[in-house]
Structure 1
Amino acid sequence: MSEPLSANAIGVTWLQDAYAPAAESLARQLGLPCDQADSTTCSLWLQVGEQGLSLQASGPDAPGAVRVDFVEGAMAHRRQFGGGAGQMVAKAVGLRGAIRPSVLDATAGLGRDAFVLAALGCQVTLIERQPVIAALLDDGLQRARAAGGEVAEIAARMQLIHADAIEAMGAWQGQIPQVVHLDPMFPHREKSALVKKEMRLFRPLAGDDLDAPALLAAALQLASHRVAVKRPRKAPAIEGALPSAQLNGQSSRYDIYGKKKLEA
């Protein structure tokens, strides 16, 4: 992993005075400074407000804030109109017919792929090692569970672990996941403003996953049936074992490492 943003460049703030105590509590939990929103001492701010937790860069040219929202917006649209089990991530982890494997998403990020799989009926465990991103994801999951209805049912199938994925998989104590899903950080080239905004915020935090070969090796050791790795469409496979199959999309692909046939 490349060198992340230094801890003192990240702070916690509040958007309304009523959320100052929650911001102070979160700052203590993460070991980060807490200050008023008009402070210019940090490059990135975790903002606590009535809509939950968001991440905002400071400075005049900063992109808009990013938050995890499973209830409305893009994820709600994808849940309703995204293509169901025909989506590439669903095919990559082996969904077909009545087959709904248990999935470990070892590079959870904002949890979008995990949410899609949970929406399709999979039990999904998420691992995120970057504490600020994990806090955003945890906040999004809590709001989804509180929303009730279908979204709460989906979020109930998602369990978040804040840990280093390589270490966690190597010392795994729970039920063995049938499939491990990996999406190591890589330089996105998509043109959408949303992707650009997220990458501008997250790359200084998380860097690139330079330990991807070790991540793949740990995933292959743990998964009982397969490992699915998301890659840029023209990028080489991760160093190590060779994939047994590939699934190609317009801008990305999945390298599939099969171990055992999935059955209902």
Structure 2
Amino acid sequence: MSYALAVVADAAERLPAAQALADKLQLPCLGCLDPVEVSESAYVLQRGERLQLCATGRKAPGPVCVDFVGGALAHRRRYGGGKGQQVAKAVGLRGGFYPRVVDATAGLGRDAFVLASLGCEVHMLERNPVVRALLRDGLERLQRASLEDTELAAIAMRLTLEEREVSAGEWLAEQAAESVPVVYLDPMFPERGKSARVKKEMAAFHQLVGGDEDADALLEPAFAACYYRTVVKRPRLAPFLADKKPTLSLEGKSGRFDIYTKHGVPG
């Protein structure tokens, strides 16, 4: 039998955790297997020291995981430009003003972590249960690392994940009008076949998760819920979300931030 996705463990002692995850996600558990040896499924969630989404087979690209402690995000936390980063400018962060942000399409949590590391409280929403499992695992490892690192401890306190299985549109519609300082949207944009800049492992991730085809429907409830602004991250040449022109845009080499303002942020 073949499956789109299954769960494996990297060692016998992690098999109970792998089985529990499989039960929660209603996926088959294939036991202790290396992803390169799996033939029943195109992708597996591997339960190891970290939870990883892996393509299977011997020529598969590398795994995808959420790492808030090391790797690229650790480098960006130390050397990424601080409050001068475009994402910080887009949400209105400045000295003495650190708005609470709801990242309604959190994905792998990279921008959410950057904003939390700069001082914002960030609540992440992610409707895809597999991606949410990766986020939860990343947060748990961040919290363990924070026990020995005061800087990480402060970030961990500011970064939370919505545990309910709820779509961003539903969650935003539940909020009182103008109750969220900043709503941040970074909907998954369908990849173009010519996009050489997308790493192979991320291309595999996009293939499994798919694009947010209902992204246009998020702008209205996001803007209703926000107090200061709604920020939409887009590829540089992508159309405006819901074809609605923003108040202003911050453009970079490959992407841009479209900003829909409501009330002005403190000067």
TM-score, length-normalised on structure 2?
0.90
Q: Which moved more, 1:113-122 or 1:33-42?
A: 33-42
User: Quick check: 2:51–2:134 contact (8 Å CA) kept in 1?
Assistant: yes
Q: Tell me the amino acid that sits aligned with residue 40 of structure 2.
A: T
Alignment coverage as a number of residue pairs:
255
Map of 1:14-25 to 2, 5 A cutoff? 14-25=9-20
Which structure 2 residue ranges, 5 or more long, are not aligned? Answer: none
State the identity as a percent.
48
Map of 1:31-110 to 2, 5 A cutoff? 31-36=26-31, 37=33, 38-50=37-49, 52-110=50-108
Q: Tell me the amino acid that sits aligned with residue 259 of structure 1.
A: K
Map of 1:45-194 to 2, 5 A cutoff? 45-50=44-49, 52-148=50-146, 149=149, 150-162=151-163, 163-172=166-175, 176-186=179-189, 187=191, 191-192=196-197
Name which of 215, 223, 227 aligns with 2:226: 223
**Cα distance, 1:175 vs. partner?**
9.3
1:27 to 2:26 alignment:
no
Which structure 1 residue ranges, 5 or more long, are not aligned? Answer: 1-6
**Cα distance, 1:67 vs. partner?**
1.0
Q: Distance in 2 between matches of 1:101 and 1:22?
A: 37
**Cα distance, 1:8 vs. partner?**
3.7
Q: Distance in 1 between matches of 2:114 and 2:196?
A: 23
Q: Distance in 2 between matches of 1:253 and 1:28?
A: 40
Q: Tell me the amino acid that sits aligned with residue 157 of structure 2.
A: A
User: Quick check: 2:38–2:57 contact (8 Å CA) kept in 1?
Assistant: no
Q: Tell me the amino acid that sits aligned with residue 227 of structure 2.
A: S
Deviations 1:32-71 (A, max 9, x none): 1101324421111000112x10110112321111111111
Q: Which residue of 2 aligns with 1:199?
A: 203
Specify whether residues 237 and 175 from structure 1 end up closer, same or farther in structure 2 by C-alpha distance, changes over 3 A only.
Answer: closer
Specify whether residues 156 and 256 from structure 1 end up closer, same or farther in structure 2 by C-alpha distance, changes over 3 A only.
Answer: same
Name which of 241, 254, 266 aligns with 1:251: 254
User: Quick check: 2:43–2:54 contact (8 Å CA) kept in 1?
Assistant: yes
User: Quick check: 2:8–2:46 contact (8 Å CA) kept in 1?
Assistant: yes
Secondary structure at the aligned position of 2:66 is classed as: coil
Q: CA RMSD in A?
A: 1.9
TM-score, length-normalised on structure 1?
0.91
Q: Distance in 1 between matches of 2:170 and 2:3?
A: 26
Q: Distance in 1 between matches of 2:195 and 2:104?
A: 23
